[in-house]
Amino acid sequence: MEQPDPPLVKDAPADAADRSLVDDVRALVEDGRTLLEAELAYQKSRAALAGRTAKSMAGWIALALSLVFFALMALVIGLLLSLAPLLGGLGATLVVVLGLLGAAGLSGWIAARRWQAMTRRLNEDEAP
């Protein structure tokens, strides 16, 4: 005669006096495992959503940066064309190049100062 498979989950006794401490600990461990599995599934779904969003966002940022680059190129060409009658072709080119190098130098100087300020603040936090 074939015996049926035992149930995977036993019905817990309703009365606390009928339960043992071992049964309570087992139930607690099982509840903890269930909670951990649910939390892992939740965090996994959040990470997947963040990954899809970041991928889409990176594409839009790349497009925006490309459009800004082309707008700046149009500005440079416009400056060259508007200064050429006043200064000549070579003079206009020289003025625009020096202006761009000055703006790049100023930007680099500001970035270096901010980097130094940040490292100074981080080193202050580490000092005893």
pLDDT along the chain (128 residues), means of 10: 61 64 86 92 89 87 94 93 92 92 95 93 74
pLDDT of residue 7: 57
Is the full-model pTM beyond 0.85?
Answer: no
Distance CA 90, CA 18 (A): 98
Residue 53: its pLDDT value, please?
A: 86
Which pLDDT score, from 0 to 100, does residue 44 have?
92
Residue 113 has a pLDDT of 95
- Please compute, for residue 55, the number of CA atoms within 13 A of its CA located in the half-sphere on the CB side: 6
- Predicted local distance difference test score (pLDDT) of residue 108: 95
Half-sphere exposure of 116 (CA within 13 A, CB side): 6
First-to-final CA distance of the chain: 77
pLDDT at 66: 95
Contacts of 14 (CB under 8 A, 6+ apart): none
Q: Quick one: DSSP state of residue 10? A: P
pLDDT at position 62: 93
Taking the CA atoms of 53, 69, 105 and 75 in sequence, report the sign of the dihedral they define.
negative
